[in-house]
Amino acid sequence: MLSHLVLGTTNSLYLGDMLFFALVFVLLMWAIKVVAWGPVTKMMKERADRISNDIDSAEKSRQDAEKLAQKREEALKNSHAEASTIVSNAKDNGAKQREQIVASAQQEAQSLKQNAQKDIEQERKDALKGAQNDVASLSIEIASKIIQKELNAQDQKQLIDSYIEGLGKQNESR
């Protein structure tokens, strides 16, 4: 019996120890939950939220960068188109100005040519008139010497007019 008693006390000792260790384990788990598990869980949740926010922020930044790149590309295309338009307009304006300058030069040349022709015609008329006057003077002088007398003014005029008509007809026939 003694062995039984010893065994019984050992069994109850084991049972008491187990019960003590179980109670200490539960208390320890509760203390870990209160002291460590809550803050660790809170810290992990905050970290997960921060990572999620960083991912969302990075995605938003990437989308904004894509939009900005598209806007810049469109602006570049527009500037190329605008530059082409400016160059085209400048070429058109240059061609128009060149045509205007050429037309103006042609008109000026035509005007100078007409003025020169008028001047030539006037010089020819003046030379012809001068020649007629010289011929008339010579004619009168020659006629006076031939006739050895003075003609009256009416006779001189008729003689000169007939002589000039004869010269005009000879010049026209040449």
pLDDT digits (tens, 9 = 90+) for 121-164: 898 888 888 877 777 777 776 766 666 555 567 777 777 777 77
The predicted model scores a pTM of 0.39
Residue 109 and residue 158: Cα distance in Å, rounded? 45
Rounded to whole angstroms, how far apart are CA atoms 101 and 109? 12
**Burial readout 39-70 (b: 16 or more C-beta within 10 A, e: otherwise):** eeeeeeeeeeeeeeeeeeeeeeeeeeeeeeee
pLDDT per residue over 75-96, tens digit each? 988 888 888 899 999 899 989 9
Rounded Cα gap, residues 119 and 145, in angstroms = 38
Angle at CA of residue 152, ends 147 and 154, nearest 5°: 120
State the alpha helices, DSSP H only, in the chain.
Answer: 2-32, 38-147, 153-173
